């Protein structure tokens, strides 16, 4: 009997997991403070702004395809020109997360909706399979 119950439980758990994964690839960013690098593959690049807050040298050494470069040192001065709508979905990354967190906090303090950062930064995004810009 335990064997049958274990198999049923296993089937239910697997089915639930598959249903959750099949609910669509779009992420609800409104309730997120961070994203795993693998989740960024599912971002709608037509709707979500991906902002890289690394230095110019880091950007020149490589960046994610479709990202917008807004170095943290220029962030406060240029943010309003890049993100004109405070409900525009935005995701921020840097090398490891520290600068992205600072930028996200700044945006949240200005009234922008949830602005998640990507855990682990640029190198983790590449490891997760995101495309590096040519």
Catalytic residues: 94
Give the DSSP letter of residue 130: P
User: Starting from the edge strand earliest in sequence, which strands make up the sheet with 49-52, in order?
Assistant: 34-35, 117-118, 90-93, 49-52, 68-69
CA dihedral sign, ordered 83, 128, 26, 31: negative
């Amino acid at each position: 009997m335990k064997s049958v119950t274990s198999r049923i439980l296993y089937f239910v758990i697997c089915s639930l997991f598959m249903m959750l994964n099949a609910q669509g690839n779009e992420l609800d960013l409104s309730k997120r403070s961070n994203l795993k690098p693998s989740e960024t593959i599912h971002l709608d690049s037509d709707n979500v702004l991906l902002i890289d807050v690394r230095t110019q040298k880091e950007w020149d050494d490589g960046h994610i395809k479709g990202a917008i470069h807004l170095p943290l040192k220029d962030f406060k001065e240029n943010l309003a020109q890049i993100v004109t709508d405070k409900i525009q979905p935005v995701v921020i990354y840097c090398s490891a997360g520290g600068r992205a967190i600072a930028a996200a906090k700044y945006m949240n303090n200005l009234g922008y909706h949830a602005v998640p950062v990507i855990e682990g930064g640029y190198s983790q995004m590449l490891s997760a399979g995101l495309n590096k810009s040519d």
